[in-house]
Amino acid sequence: MLTVGIDVGGTFTDLVVIDEASQSIAITKTLSTPSNQADGVLDALKKLDVDLASVRRIVHGMTVATNAVLERRGAKVAVITTEGFRDVLEIGRTQRMTFTMFDPYFVRPQPLAVRPMRFEVAERILADGRVTTPLSQDGVRQACAAAKRMGAEAFAVCFINSYKNSRHEKDAAAIIEQEMGSPTISISSDIVPEYREYERFTTTVTNAYVQPAMSRYLASFEDRLRREGYRGPIYIMASNGGSMDVRFAARRPVNTLFSGPAGGVVGAIQATAGTDHADVISYDMGGTSTDVCLIQGRTPSFSAQSLVTGIPIKVPQLNINTVGAGGGSIAWAEGGKTLRVGPRSAGSTPGPACYGKGGDEPTVTDANLFLGRIGASSLLDGELTLDVAAATRVIRRLSDELGMSDPFEVADGIIRLAVVRMANAIREISLQKGHDPRDFSLVALGGAGPMHAAETAAEIGVKTVIVPQFPGNLSALGLLSSELRSDYSLPFRQPLATADWSAVNVEFEKLLQRGKADFQATGVKPEAVSGLKSLDARYTGQAFELTIPFAERELDAKLVESRFVSEYVRQYGHSQEQSAIEIVALRMAVKADIGRPAITRAPRRGDARSSFRKVYFGGSLRETPVFHRTALDPGFRGEGPAIIEEFGSTTIVPPSWRVSLQPNGNIVMTSQQ
């Protein structure tokens, strides 16, 4: 039987197929198809001649929801909310985001639901869950009639304090279904059953905004697979680093906004299992962006909230920082004088100029080709021949625009600017969070990650870079290493000192049983399910809380206080010993292990040293040995400059770096400076 991992990126669609009997692996890449991502997936499956009838499991990472939000191509959403709360989405927290605090040109992102499509109805539930104003059913019907006239494609129901009592939201959803004929409906008490109405509202509206597109895509994707003979389950990678059933993903697409990058993080953890590298930073550079995540003790950092185009999304997710720097990032001259790189990308269509598909702007990939860092026929083992003349033309044109006589300096400057942007993204998840990046190793993945990893590591003082096997397809491989995971939460605000711990432990058990029931509905046996509990706590009077995980079976005040203070000191450098602590919410991550594939090392082939070519390093062209990775024996050692090519990626070993191939197949580069 086979297992299949599919990761759709901005430029390439990556496919991994593992034969469970032989533990052999087959990989490929095809250009992504933005108009319908399923086309690129089916192209990749046909390219490897995969018999879908013999496939046991498919896990899919995607950018359908992400692209809909980034490009503002989602559904027309009608919002039904409590009287007086129509403008919560617009008012927000009346704060400017930290990274725009000093930007005089800052414009607040517009809500995904325009004001005329937001409707108030009479109803009111207090913070303790008591109903003071019954739901106006006529008000909901009137809102439906108005929304229908305005062409609403999806509904978001966001009532105040519904996290404590969801009855009004459920009643409103039933009325909408009756009046509108089974439209797409998201209710906040289901999407984010937590307090803070602004974040709850924005997350629910985002779910409604992307749900029609996601539902259509997944239905079409599943139908095409079934017609090709596939009979197994389809899982979708979620932002929390786990996978979920395709039907749950269709209902909760907001949980897939970081689907593809999450696979890369899981892949980085698996690639370093059994090694001495427990503290690493995953560095995933693809065609359009770079995603980085800090992993400590083989556990990735998590976040309960993130910003997507300035919109708060409150769902549990891996703490992945994304920057618009990838192989397709376009270089340009600002004001005809200053070199800039990104965030605009050539993507897969038309792609970099050297792809020969109509691109006519210089990109990071063009710069790498011009400098000799990539061979004209090395990409995808020669499947995609690069046009050196086209890359030379656009680099020289940019050089002329900047008034520079040496195009090599311009191309080198493009690489260096991209490296600085990526290094800053790593500083944001390390230095700015109290971690010294020099205490970590860098795990390079993605088609472009190994090419720039050593230079990025040097920029932040990291001395060790790990390039796993199949780095260009590691995100797709990581999908197959993911567990099924679903996160549940319950508002539970009590002072720590007087908390009812028997009630706390009972509520945790209820959340676990709820997860088991949901998993059982998808065919997972209850004995395969486990839970990881955590709770949100803060010092009384503070506006924000910390999420503290616990492996212990039962909790008590002493344990929670100790763990909270320790985490508070780690993050903020001090504690407030005289302040009381309060619990805000209980959380349960419910997981089920559906099997991780064992993978043999890629078979050796050919001679190790295939050629030499001139590569630009440190201001001059240097004769540089070029190796093919699959021709290297474990124990291989070398010194930079050197280039190691393989199907999905190219590893650059700069001068002053050493390189070795470990028995597990990982390339390890170490700085000598």
Average pLDDT over residues 129-140: 96
Share of the chain above pLDDT 70, in %: 97
Question: Does pLDDT of 606 surpass 70?
Answer: no
pLDDT in tens, 213-249: 999 999 999 999 999 999 999 999 999 999 999 999 9
Q: Where in 271-385 does DSSP place strands (E)?
A: 280-285, 290-296, 299-300, 302-303, 306-308, 311-313, 317-318, 321-323, 329-334, 338-345
Span 381-402, average pLDDT:
91
What is the per-residue pLDDT across 82-91, written as a single tens digit (0 to 9) for each? 999 999 998 8
- Nearest alpha carbon to residue 204 among 217, 194, 218: 194
For residue 646, give the nearest of 613, 615, 617, 604 by alpha carbon.
604
Q: What is the pLDDT of residue 400?
A: 94
Mean pLDDT of 328-343: 89
Q: According to the model, what pLDDT value does residue 142 have?
A: 97
Split at pLDDT 50, 70, 90, the class of 104 is confident
User: 462-483, pLDDT tens digit by residue?
Assistant: 999 999 999 999 999 999 999 9
pLDDT at 342 (0 to 100): 84
Question: Is residue 197 scored above 80 in pLDDT?
Answer: yes
Is 99 a residue whose pLDDT tops 70? no
Task: Look at residue 69 in the predicted model and tell me its pLDDT.
Answer: 87
Stretch among 68-72, 98-102, 324-328, 339-343 having the lowest mean pLDDT: 98-102
**What's the mean pLDDT in 621-641?**
92
**Token pair of 378, please?**
């090395």
d(CA 253, CA 381): 36
Residues 372, 613: contact at Cβ < 8 Å? yes
- What is the CA angle 559-561-562, rounded to 5? 65
Cα(575)–Cα(578) distance, rounded to whole angstroms?
9
**Band of the pLDDT at 603, cuts 50, 70, 90?**
low
- Report the distance separating Cα 52 and Cα 56, nearest Å: 9
**pLDDT exceeds cutoff 60 at 108:** yes
What per-residue confidence (pLDDT) applies to 437? 95
Note whether 60 and 101 are within 8 A (CB).
no
Report if pTM > 0.75.
Answer: yes
CA distance 584 to 547: 10
User: For residue 276, with 0-12 CB atoms within 10 Å meaning exposed, 13-18 middle and 19 or more buried, which class applies?
Assistant: exposed
Q: What's the Cα-to-Cα distance from 204 to each of 20, 207, 208, rounded to whole Å?
A: 40, 5, 6
Distance CA 419, CA 459 (A): 8
Q: Please report the pLDDT score of residue 506 as a whole number.
A: 93
267-311 residue pLDDT tens: 999 999 989 999 999 999 988 889 999 999 999 988 888 878 788
DSSP letter at 504 equals H
* pLDDT tens-place string over residues 413-422: 999 999 999 9
pLDDT band at 658 (very low <50, low <70, confident <90, very high): very high
Core vs surface per residue 105-122: b (16+ CB within 10 A) or e = eeeeeebbbeeebbbbbe
d(CA 88, CA 93): 9
Sequence-ordered strand ranges (E) for 113-188: 118-121, 124-125, 131-133, 154-158, 184-187
pLDDT at 554: 85
Instruction: Look at residue 97 and tell me whether its pLDDT is greater than 90.
Output: no
Helix axis angle for 137-149 and 167-180, nearest 10°, is: 40
pLDDT above 80: residue 599: no
Looking at every residue in the chain, the average pLDDT score rounds to 91
